[in-house]
Every structure is written in C-alpha cells, then in structure tokens.
Amino acid sequence: MMTRRAFIELKGIFITNSLTTTPLSSPQLGLQSTLLASLLHSTSFSNNGDRLLHSTSFSNIGDRPLSRYQKVTSLDHAFNLFDEMIQRRPLPSVVKFNQLLNSVAKMKHFSSSLHLFKQMCLIGVPVNEYSISIAIKCCCQMSRTNDGFALLASCFRRAVVPNVFVFSTLLDGLVLEDRIIEAERLFKKLIKQKLCEPDVVMYSTMIKGLCKFGNNDIAIGLLRLMDERGCEPNVVVYSTIIDSLCKDKLIDDAFNLFKEMVFHKGILPDVITYTSLIHGLCNLGRWGEVYKLLKEMEDVRISPDLQTFNMLVDAFCKDGKVNEAEAVIDIMVERGEAPDIVTYSSLIDGYCLRGEMIKARTLFDSLTFKGLVPNVVTYSSLLNGYCKSLKIEEAMHLFHEITRKGLKPDIVSYSAMLQGLFRVGRCGAARKLFDEMRSQGLIPNECTYRIILAGLCNNHQVEDVLYLFHLVGDSKLNTDIQVYNILIDGMSKCGKLDIARDLFQDLTLKGLKPNVRTYTVMVSGLCREGMLEEAKHLFHRMDESGCPPNSVTYNVLLQGYLKNQNSDDVEMLLEEMDGRRYSVDASTLSMLIEKIAAGSVDRSMLKLIGKLVPKEMMDTTAVPR
DNA sequence: ATAGGGTTAG
C-alpha cells in the first residue's frame, strides 16, 4: 500500500499545505482541502484497521464457525449439496436445510431458494417456522408478497405456528410493494387479535412503511407508542426516521431526533445514522456542516464506509464539485475502501453534468481495466450525457450496446434516450423507441410521461400533446404540477396562449397549487404575446399567493418589458431585483446592452445594471462600467 | 442451533 507521505506528495502541494498549516479554521482553504484533511487525519482508525481488529480478535469470540451449508459459494454448489443431502438416510436435520436455503437467499437467488423449499416439502422434511420465514422472504423480495401469504396458509396446514419473524417478513413485503394500507391493517390486526406481540424489528418495519409514504409524524407517533408498550426503540428505529426526515429536507427535526436518541435514550449512532444525516446536509448544500459531522464521526471513532463515501462522491458531483468527488475517491483508495461501480457511475454522471464527455467516456472505458462491470445505471448516465450534449449517434450506439452486453435497458435508459431523440427533433424515432419500450413490457413512469409531453411540445406537436394529455385523463400522472408547467410553457411556445390560460385555471380544480415555475411560465407566455398588463398583474399576484417570484421570474418579466419598450417599468424592476439580491442572467444582460446601444434604455441605468451582474459573468462578458 | 428491520449511483 502507498504510504501516506507518498500519497500526499502525489496529490501535490495543495493537500500538503492543508495538512501543514491549520486547515480547519483557515478561510482561504476550500472545502476540498478541509474535507481531505479531516479524512486523512482519521487514518489511525481506518477501515483496514477495523477489519483487522474485528476479524482477528473480538468478533469471533463466541461465534461459531460457519457450517458447510452456510458456506455455499454458487448456485451449482448449493444444488449439488441439496441433492446429496436428500439422498442421505436419515435425512439431515431441518436446521441444515434451512442454512442452505438461507445462503441461497442471501445470494439473491430467491426463486432457487424457494424451489429448494418446495422440494423440502415434497420430500417430507419437517419444515419449521425458520424455513417458512426464509421462503416467505424470498417471495417478498421478488415482489410476490401474495405468494408469501399463501405460504402463511400452508404454515397452518403444517401445524407450524407463525411467529413474529414470519409476520415481520410479510409486513416488510407489503411495504416493499407500496401496499401501505394493507401493511397497517395487518399490523393492527396482529396486535388486536394477539396473533403476535410486535418486537423492535416489526415496529421498525411498520415505521419504515409510514416514512415511505411521507407520514413522518405518524412514524414518530409509533416510536412513542412502542416505547410506552415496553418495546425499547434502538438505533435502527431512530435511523429509519432520521433518514426519512433528512430525505424530506427536515434536517432540524432529524437532528433533534438524533439528539434525543443519543442524550435521552443513550443509544449510540452508527455509520448508517451518520451517513443519513450527512446525506441530508449534502442535499441542502450545507457543506460546512457536512465537514463538521465527518469530523464528529472521526471523534467518536466511527469510520465512513463504502456507502458513506459513495454518497459523498455523488453529492459532490451533483453539486458540480467534481474535484472534491475525485478527492474523496483518492481518500477511499488510500484507506483501502475500493471504489465500486456505484462510485464511478456517480463520477461519470458528474462529468456528464458538466458536459465533460471525453472525461466521462475515458472513465467509462477504463472500468473494465479496474475490474468493474458497467451496469444499466452506468450506461444510462453516459447515454444521458451524450443526449444532453446532442451527440445522439453516440447515445444511440451506447443504447444498443446495453443489450449487446447482456443487460436490459430499463425505463430510465429508455426515457433518457427518448429525451435525446426529441431534443434533436427526431419525433418519429422517438415514437418507434417508445413502441419498442412498451413491447418490452416497460411501463412509462411520471418521468417518461413528462419527457414525452415536453418533447412533443418542443417539436410543436400540439395535437399529439393534447391527445396524450386527455388520454391520460385524471390519473395520477396528470395530478402533478410539473406536468402543468410543461404544458403551459409548451402551449404558449406553440402560440396557444388560450390553452395555456385554461390549463392555468384548471390545475386548481384538480387540487394542485401553482408553484414559482407555473407562474413564471405563465408570465413568460403572456409576455411573449405582448400582454404586459396581464403579465404584470399575475406577477403581483405571486407575492399575495405566498409564492414570491424568483430570479427567473424577474428576468422573464424584464425581458418582456424590454421587448415592449417599457422603460419606466424596466428601471423599477431592476431596483426591485437589486433589493431582493437577484441578478440578471446572460440573455437578459445582452438584451439590456443591446437596448442601451440602440438608445431605448437610458445609459443612467448602467450603474444599477452593473450591480445586478453576478461575479462569474464579469469574467466572460463585456460589462459596461 | 437455523429466520425478519435502517444508509449509496442513472
């Protein structure tokens, strides 16, 4: 392994500085270096060390060695062993069969495991609640929870009394299939009819289900209830809710629950708890606190694991901070945590996001060399990148490669490809691809639907858009403000402002609330048709509706005024933008300059305009001073 | 002497 010194030298002066000066409080050092420093300092308890410690001394104390039924390494191996077992007389104990069943399930060969279970029943092995819960788990993992319930029935036939393990597995199956109502019903029935007393795992499963459907408050209610009923919540229960709060951007609530767990309950957080919290902070762009929490992990001797690192790489990439993402990967390598396909897929996506397609491609091509196999996610990241940079032939080629490599393009790959085809105006090809997708049994999701609507709009296929929209009717797909935003924008760009207006009226009837984008596209549509008064009126309605205009709305209205020579309004709007600390975008700025040159906007506004130009733009644009 | 729950990528 590379020594730390060599690593630092390799990384160059930048990191050496951050380690030799005082990195943590020094403001001129960027986040990258502080994060790096934080993680580099923690090598004393690196994952390597941890692994060594656990495997050699502590964790094996009291552990029994695995039996050979738990050590199967392949499906073939498992089936051979099973065949040998059923020929022995007397038959091996059910315990040994269960161990085999479980190892096959752990390899995610659920249908094989289930097959073996059925063989056991046929042969007359006296299956018990262990066997049945493994079999039910296999059904549930394959989204066949109903088959799991059928097995429950066979439980009774075999005089096996289903226990809390069996019911928890079924409950989890319902949650996995989004059957939350049935999950709640089952959970209540189990308690009411005293079929089993829920334990901490069953509570956590129910809590996970509630969180999944956005019922954080009810989930917390259940947390309180389990406590009252004498079932102590543990780190899993707390982490489930903390993660859900983080995903809903309720980071303060998440931290409050975290503090309650630690300080009131004395429950220690683990790497998953921290990963969830850090993820939440990353999503809010609160990098300073991300660093603090990483430091805290270090202090409490909890090492970030592969998933923590992958989450960080991904979060940096999503925020355009590719350098930081690369630095995290270097640290992973240095700490013996091998980056996997998830790590690199995120990085490829990060490159694509910045239009760095050469880098993305080079990395993609180097994966095989690293011993990693690209999967559908990897492919669709790169494919999406090509589509976004209008390299449609490259994208198409990659799309076909997915199948050639023995993978199946899924709904996301198809959606990305569709978006690309629409973007270059190849509606016919998009149509063909859509039909192919359907023939593969893939069902369009909300995202696919929005891509198609937007694609048709941008290609002025007004009739097709409206046909599709009405065809979908009042379903869930159309109960989405984003769909309306696309349609309102699309219709007004196609010169159908009347339709756009009607849509804007109708969305409220469906119980939808217009958001900033809805107002902005409507204002933009009105400006396009020169209906400045109505645009202005709508613009003012935004504040009253508790949906204040953002920078984009201001720019849109400003361009409307400029096009229609409303000089006084222009000045007033610029003043307001200054007051709200908004800035002008590149296209508005060039329009302003153009109008000043033409004499339709007074030069006296130059000073104000200068204040509204963001710093980044100063370097690249000729700004009047 | 065997079974169930929480974190990462398009």
Domain annotation covers residue A406: no
Domain annotation covers residue A23: yes
pLDDT per residue as tens digits for the range A313-338? 999 999 999 999 999 999 999 999 99
Looking at residue A73, what DSSP letter applies?
A: -
Measure CA A579 to chain center.
35
Domain annotation covers residue A233: yes
Task: Determine if strand B comes within 7 Å of the CB of A551.
Answer: no
* Closest nucleotide over all strands to A304 (CA to C1'): B7
Chain B, protein-covered positions (CB within 7 A): 1-10
Task: Determine if strand B comes within 7 Å of the CB of A137.
Answer: yes
Look up the CATH number of the domain holding residue A271. Answer: 1.25.40.10
pLDDT per residue as tens digits for the range A455-474? 999 999 999 999 999 999 99
Which tokens is A326 given? 């690369």
Q: What angle do CA A363, A369, A372 make, to 5 degrees?
A: 80
What's the first-to-final CA gap in chain A, in angstroms? Answer: 56
Among residues A429, A379, A435, A373, the alpha carbon closest in space to that of A402 is found at A379
Task: Determine if strand B comes within 7 Å of the CB of A571.
Answer: no
The domain total for chain A is: 4
pLDDT per residue as tens digits for the range A255-295? 999 999 999 999 999 999 999 999 999 999 999 999 999 99
- Burial of A539 by CB count in 10 Å (0-12 exposed, 13-18 middle, 19+ buried)? buried
Per-10-residue mean pLDDT, chain A, length 625: 24 23 26 41 36 34 76 94 96 97 97 98 95 98 98 91 97 98 98 97 98 98 98 98 98 98 98 98 98 97 98 98 98 96 98 98 98 98 98 98 98 98 98 97 96 98 96 93 98 98 95 96 97 96 95 97 87 95 94 91 89 77 44
A187 shares its domain with A222: no
Domain stops at, among A275, A302, A329: A302
Question: For position A578, what pLDDT does the model report?
Answer: 95
Question: For position A61, what pLDDT does the model report?
Answer: 43
How far apart CA A125 and CA A118 sit, in angstroms, is 10
SS3 A500: helix
| Rounded distance in angstroms from the CA atom of residue A176 to the C1' atom of nucleotide B4 | 14
How far apart CA A587 and CA A538 sit, in angstroms, is 23
Owner of token pair 């909300």: A446
Question: For position A12, what pLDDT does the model report?
Answer: 24
A91 shares its domain with A22: no
A242 shares its domain with A193: no
A139 shares its domain with A178: yes
Which tokens is A258 given? 């975290």
Task: Determine if strand B comes within 7 Å of the CB of A236.
Answer: yes
Task: Determine if strand B comes within 7 Å of the CB of A380.
Answer: yes
The string of DSSP letters for A199-212 reads -HHHHHHHHHHHHH
A100 shares its domain with A191: yes
Range of the domain at A129: 69-197
